[in-house]
């Protein structure tokens, strides 16, 4: 299994490069930092078309993380207990 991490510094600005990189490297799981995008604007469809699904925790133009996987995602919980945005359920 290939697992990678990337401080993407805006997934919107890097999406074409990210999709090409995923295809060329055969990465199974990619962890992104600094996605800098609101969850409702995240490119879920483009990633689905490339064979990936994603779990995202982001608020907009600052910060934001994502896990992109072509091997499936289970038990996704956003946040940490006691922190704002914690949903507490898989």
DSSP-derived secondary structure for 32-66: EE---SBGGGS-HHHHHHTT-EEEEE-BSSS--EE
pLDDT of residue 19: 98
Tokens representing 4 are 């990678």
pTM: 0.86
- 38 within a domain of the structure (yes/no): yes
- 19 within a domain of the structure (yes/no): yes
Split into its structural domains, the chain has a count of 1
List, for the chain, all residue ranges whose pLDDT scores fall below the cut of 70: 85, 87-90
Q: 50 is in which domain, residue-wise? A: 3-69
Q: Which positions ≥6 away from 84 have C-beta within 8 Å? A: none
Distance CA 60, CA 11 (A): 11
pLDDT in tens, 29-53: 999 999 999 999 999 999 999 999 9
Q: Are 53 and 76 in contact (CB under 8 A)?
A: no
- 36 within a domain of the structure (yes/no): yes
Q: Are 19 and 50 in contact (CB under 8 A)?
A: yes
């Amino acid at each position: 299994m290939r697992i990678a991490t990337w401080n993407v510094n805006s997934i919107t600005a890097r999406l074409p490069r990210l999709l090409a990189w995923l295809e060329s490297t055969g990465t199974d799981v990619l962890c992104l930092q600094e996605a800098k995008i609101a969850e409702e604007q995240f490119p879920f469809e483009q990633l689905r078309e490339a064979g990936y699904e994603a779990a995202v925790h982001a608020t907009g133009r600052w910060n934001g993380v994502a896990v992109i996987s072509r091997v499936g995602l289970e038990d996704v919980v956003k946040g940490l207990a006691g922190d704002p945005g914690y949903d507490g359920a898989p």
